[in-house]
Chain A
């Protein structure tokens, strides 16, 4: 029998319907389900390079240690410097090096979660890669998204990056001890944030002196 052959040069459509960001969102939802099953509250901490994300996590840990079992996922392009700093607090840290990638994604968090004894955890801090743009496209499955800005980035930081603030639940304005020297008003920065996202909580802080930590813990409301 003569087999039927496809005609040379046949043209047709292939429907893919594949959404790459939605894939991440689905993975994020799955992470959230795992966290909820183990009754773990996860907090994603975003912000530009050097705004004080690690200092804030260290401060929060020293206030919460003993009351809660805490874990940390530290995202960085390279090195384990931040992870080592937090480990000094006697906390389990999983370091995720993203290489060239500008953000953590839900798949990396899924892998990191496997390295914790989830049954023993109450609280999970996730330090995202220092970047005010990309993490906004990649939810991780956390219960709360916190953005840390500081007065040393100048008075226009918030206005220039409205999107990440529109996704935040809590915004920390850090390094208020340097506000005068920098001629930057923390109140004005807060006003900018409220203009973009009226539902957010904004808290001024100084992570060297430990100022604002109680208010931040209250705002996180876990």
Chain B
């Protein structure tokens, strides 16, 4: 839903950096998106291509890496992936918000909520 506004923020950040560093051309951009966000890599890719038109990033390759979720249990210290439930009830893999070891619901989400601009490759 908010892929456009997030893409605008990404493009703004990238183009500002490019201007500050007096970059002539942005060759590639590396992004990381967490699987627990509502951001859709395909839509982000589409919007960035649009937003990069007529800018130094016009020809940039856009790489988007998916970051899988990891949790830490506040009760038993379990750290690892969430259990995924392949349940026809939800029609999607839905991450279960319970510790797979002790069943506690008191969890900390360590990864999976990223919307990260990792780096860009540029030429002067």
A interface list, Cβ under 8 A from B: 6, 8-22, 25, 100-103, 131, 133-134, 136-137, 159, 162-163, 166, 195-199
Output the residue of A12, A21, A134, A166 with the most chain B CB within 10 A.
A21
Q: What are 24 inter-chain pairs, A to B, with CB distance below 8 A?
A: A9-B123, A9-B124, A11-B27, A12-B124, A13-B121, A14-B120, A14-B122, A16-B13, A16-B117, A16-B118, A16-B119, A17-B118, A17-B119, A20-B10, A20-B116, A20-B117, A21-B37, A21-B114, A22-B114, A131-B1, A137-B37, A159-B89, A162-B90, A166-B97
B interface list, Cβ under 8 A from A: 1-2, 5-6, 9-10, 13-14, 17, 21, 23, 27, 34, 36-39, 89-90, 92, 94-95, 97-98, 105-106, 113-124
A20 lies within 8 A of B123 (CB): no
Neighbour of A21 across the interface among B105, B113, B122, CB < 8 A: B113
B122 lies within 8 A of A12 (CB): yes
B6 lies within 8 A of A20 (CB): yes
Shortest distance from the beta carbon of A189 to any chain B beta carbon, whole Å: 14
B89 lies within 8 A of A195 (CB): yes
Determine the chain B residues whose CB is within 8 A of the CB of A25 once the complex forms: 113
Interface of A is mostly: mixed
Q: A17-B117, A195-B89, A199-B105 are in contact. List 9 more A-B contacts (CB 8 A).
A: A16-B14, A19-B117, A21-B113, A22-B114, A22-B116, A131-B1, A133-B38, A136-B38, A163-B38
- Tell me the bound Cα distance from A18 to B119 in angstroms: 9
Determine the chain A residues whose CB is within 8 A of the CB of B1 once the complex forms: 102, 131, 133-134
6 tightest Cβ-Cβ pairs between the two chains A and B = A199-B105, A21-B115, A19-B116, A16-B117, A20-B115, A134-B1
Determine the chain A residues whose CB is within 8 A of the CB of B90 once the complex forms: 159, 162
Determine the chain A residues whose CB is within 8 A of the CB of B38 once the complex forms: 133-134, 136-137, 163
